[in-house]
Chains A and B, each alone.
Chain A
């Protein structure tokens, strides 16, 4: 059974810091991995999608890496801003059609 773990569960940083969120998964036979952002009371917004054959994806200040063999992904946020405050979720597409989600990292960027 695929399990996804995210560390840390919560993170508080001052504005401007670079930060790394971690995601690990137990079964490396994944199809792809996605990072999402969830604001309070809202749905999820897809940030980055990395196919199993890729090593990283970048979008603006965000960079996600994937090491499939070790079952790890990181989301790097450069020059953090208060507007980055949200819950960040990692999800892997494993066998079949469903995405398996981690519990998320709650990020707070203080101004």
Chain B
């Protein structure tokens, strides 16, 4: 595709359920990021993947959050036993590898997660 694709665009779930959010980055972009944007707050870094390197998970807020990136392309963010405070827009972004002087991030439209 031409841009970063995220699905679903909206997800409503009950407290305690698990959810999976998907991100399909731009072809050829080896760097992939997940961010969270809560109402009235800035973007919060969650996790970063770069090629085959070990991911930077330093932003994951708890062990209920995990992410994987299979085949260096599509990524899935999983939230287990969702809580109401997990409600936010989850944004995925991809870019060329950092250090090449062209590290503009391209964002998807996000997944609006609502935990009831």
A60 on the B face (CB < 8 A): no
Instruction: Name which of B11-19, B66-74, B77-85, B104-112 contacts chain A.
Output: B104-112
A:26-68 near B, CB below 8 Å = 31-32, 34, 36, 41-46, 49, 51
Chain B min CB distance to A41 (Å):
8
Give the contact-size bracket for chain B: 20 to 34
B1 on the A face (CB < 8 A): no
A contact set with B: CB distance below 8 Å: 4, 31-32, 34, 36, 41-46, 49, 51, 89, 91, 93, 96-104
Q: Told that A49-B103, A96-B58, A99-B45 touch, could you supply 19 new A-B pairs with CB distance under 8 A?
A: A34-B104, A41-B109, A43-B108, A43-B109, A44-B105, A46-B106, A49-B104, A51-B101, A91-B43, A97-B31, A97-B50, A97-B56, A97-B98, A98-B45, A98-B58, A99-B43, A99-B105, A100-B45, A101-B42
